[in-house]
Amino acid sequence: MTKLRQTIDERRRCLLGAAAVSLSDSTIAQLSSSRTLRIILTAPPGSSIDVLGRVIADKMRERIGHAVLVENRPAAGGTVGTNEIAKAAADGSTIGLSFTGPLATAPFLYAKLPYDPVKDLAPIVLVGTAPNVLAVNAALPVKSFTEFLAYARQNPGKLNYASVGNGSASHLSMELLKTEAGLFMLHIPYNGAPPAVQAVAAGDVHVVMSNPTTLLPMVQSGRVRLLAVTSRQRWAGLRDLPTIHESGFPGFEAIAWNGFVAPAATARSVIESLNREINAVLVAPDVKTRIEASGWQIAGGSAESFGAFIRAEQARWQPVIRRSGARID
């Protein structure tokens, strides 16, 4: 009986091993009809999206044994690259890393968008999320979010705020706060986070909402003061900084996020394989460390949950954009 049981166990192990090899080979075959997986990054070289995409691509090369080609397509706030993803062959050979603007707010900002984020793209996985941080020039006589609100209400129209661009998350996050808090401030758009933050540090502009990693050097130099974060939970990198949600505005949330998408007609089996592979990459210790060091919190999850998240974000931002009158032509 013992020998029979050992024989059965050995055969079971062999069968499980063969099944694992078969699954691995099948997964690799599904990931791309060619031997190259093309990843389009919808932001410029050196950006946080670029860093995330390349870290993930490097690990994907190791896991799937394919060549992985990374291409930056940053024009028009990421909509050019996202349109290229949507129009690519739906054979699993092209996917892309896009973000809040092209996937959630662009449909309401552009008069004519050449793609529909819901109809023309298949969500694969939400990669990461990050808050913006409300910051002011250090000379402004406020040291807390509560003091900032009081000062802004007492001085309507006297404060201005910078954003990283018209229609950006930085812009819309502040418009959401203005609406909920009853504030009146002039919007001054800049071309990207570095010049916007520099303008606040120099005192040319009073306020900005931007990502923490861009702001921290200015905080360390004593030129900018941080007041609150826009996520529901406190940010791990700044535990002492309160959220707007806990500071009198329950439910307030305005986060940056990014995720992988594919052409809408991509086979479901390929989407599932990509989802499994990317989720596995995200929890690899070296990848996790690099992503979190760049200011992002790893998300992951199913393709279905990412699709629901995109639709919820569109519903969140459409009325904000309508109220603000923001347009990009």
- pLDDT category at 325 given cuts 50, 70, 90 is confident
The single residue listed with the structure tokens 């410029």 is 44
133-238: CATH superfamily: Periplasmic binding protein-like II (3.40.190.10)
Most trustworthy range by pLDDT among 4-8, 42-46, 185-189: 185-189
36-129+256-324 CATH pick, 3.30.420.10, 3.40.50.970, 3.40.190.150, 2.60.40.290: 3.40.190.150
What does the CA dihedral 273, 96, 312, 161 come to, rounded to 10 degrees? 150
- pLDDT category at 139 given cuts 50, 70, 90 is very high
pLDDT of residue 237: 79
Long-range contacts of 145-153 (CB under 8 A, 24+ apart): 145/227, 145/228, 145/242, 145/244, 145/247, 146/247, 146/248, 148/207, 148/227, 149/181, 149/183, 149/248, 152/181, 152/183, 152/184, 152/185, 153/181, 153/182, 153/183
- pLDDT category at 25 given cuts 50, 70, 90 is very low
Name the 3-class secondary structure at 153.
helix
- pLDDT category at 94 given cuts 50, 70, 90 is very high
Please indicate whether the domains covering 36-129+256-324 and 133-238 agree at the CATH topology level.
yes
Does the pLDDT at position 69 exceed 70? Answer: yes
- pLDDT category at 29 given cuts 50, 70, 90 is low
Does the pLDDT at position 17 exceed 50? Answer: no
Instruction: Please state, in angstroms and rounded to a whole number, the distance separating the CA atoms of residues 203 and 197.
Output: 10
pLDDT tens digits for 166-191?
A: 888 889 999 999 999 999 999 999 88
pLDDT of residue 31: 56
Is the pTM higher than 0.75? The answer reads yes
User: Per-domain residue ranges for the chain?
Assistant: 36-129+256-324, 133-238
Q: Is 311 exposed, middle or buried (0-12, 13-18, 19+ CB in 10 A)?
A: middle
C-beta separation of 207 from 200 below 8 A: yes
pLDDT tens digits for 197-237?
A: 999 999 999 999 988 888 889 999 999 999 999 999 898 87
- In this prediction, residues 113-124 reach a mean pLDDT of 96
- In this prediction, residues 57-62 reach a mean pLDDT of 91
Residue 108's alpha-carbon distances to 78, 102, 227, in angstroms, are: 15, 10, 30
* Residue scoring higher pLDDT (326 or 156): 156
